[in-house]
Amino acid sequence: MSNSIRALMGACAIGALATAASAETITVATVNNGDMIRMQGLMDEFNAEYPDIEVEWVTLEENVLRQRVTQDVAAKGGQFDVMTIGTYEVPIWGAQGWLVSLNDLPAEWDADDILPAIRGGLTVDGELYAAPFYGESSMVMYRKDLMDAAGMEMPEAPTWDDIAAAAEAMTDKDNEIYGICLRGKAGWGENMAFLTAMSNSFGARWFDEDWNAQFDTREWSDTLNFFVNMMGDSGPAGYATNGFNENLSLFQQGKCGMWIDATVAASFVTNPKDST
């Protein structure tokens, strides 16, 4: 791994490492959510410490990012040196030899500081292949003011029926208040990640033990019908094109009563072309 990549990884993780030996440009591909935009705010400190390293940021919508970095890494195109992906891709790409191990970072960068579950998800055969910038877990977020106004109370362990009932009670479409916001935008990093998790509650699965697709089962029909009916009754207009940023905006504006979301740990990974 080049000294420049080491420095960038260190700056974005816990601090600065050794100065790069020569001028170099690093291209970083990242998603356009608020956390990744804030990450770029670290660049003043990095630039002051490493004036010989130029960092170019490529900020992309989630579906576009996943497509472009997957194509680039699989083809070893080298368009991006560092990229942000999740714990779904890291073990697959690491096992394929598409990523650079981070096990040789200096001792100041302590992998034991990473939450064990996240560290395990980013490790293949003892090799750590990504440095997490943050970690997430799915949760129900709700506006207490809208919940109280609707005369509802969120159970400690809500069922989907509880969610649908609360969403309906909070919905006031005449005043552009919607009971629930969920990702409807098509794509693995958008609606399919959420719908897959939701389908588990309905007993659905992608494949059976013999790898036969299961999308034509009653369980998947129940999942999708529940989702569409709930969003049609209590979701915002155009929900089928809403992703993370759109739902975040609605929630912050007080127009959305509930928001159920999360991705996986966002991680920095490095392209194999930087393994020298």
Question: 82 pLDDT exceeds 90?
Answer: no
Most confident of 66-75, 108-117, 136-145, 216-225: 216-225
Could you tell me the domains of the chain? 3-136+265-274 (3.40.190.10), 144-253 (3.40.190.10)
Mean pLDDT computed over 89-116: 86
CA 264, CA 276: separation in Å to the nearest integer? 29
* Region of residue 212 (left: phi > 0; alpha: psi -120 to 50; beta: else): beta
120-134, 155-169, 227-241: least confidently modelled range: 120-134
CA 152, CA 169: separation in Å to the nearest integer? 8
Query: pLDDT band at residue 190, thresholds of 50, 70 and 90?
Result: confident
Buried b (16+ CB within 10 A) or exposed e, 233-264: ebbbeebeebbbebbbebbeeebbbbbbbebb
In the prediction, which pLDDT does 236 show?
Answer: 95
CA 175, CA 258: separation in Å to the nearest integer? 16
Percent with pLDDT over 70 in the chain: 86
**Pairing verdict, β 178-181 and 127-128:** unpaired
Mean pLDDT computed over 179-183: 95
Mean pLDDT computed over 96-102: 87
Contact by Cβ (8 Å): 99, 4: no
Question: 95 pLDDT exceeds 70?
Answer: yes
In the prediction, which pLDDT does 221 show?
Answer: 97
CA 133, CA 13: separation in Å to the nearest integer? 7
Q: Of 263, 272, 227, 276, which is closest to residue 78 (Cα–Cα)?
A: 272
User: How close are the terminal C-alpha atoms of the chain, in Å?
Assistant: 5
Prediction pTM value: 0.62
In the prediction, which pLDDT does 6 show?
Answer: 44
In the prediction, which pLDDT does 72 show?
Answer: 85
Over residues 43-57, the pLDDT tens digits come to 899 899 989 999 999
Tokens 């392209």 locate to 271
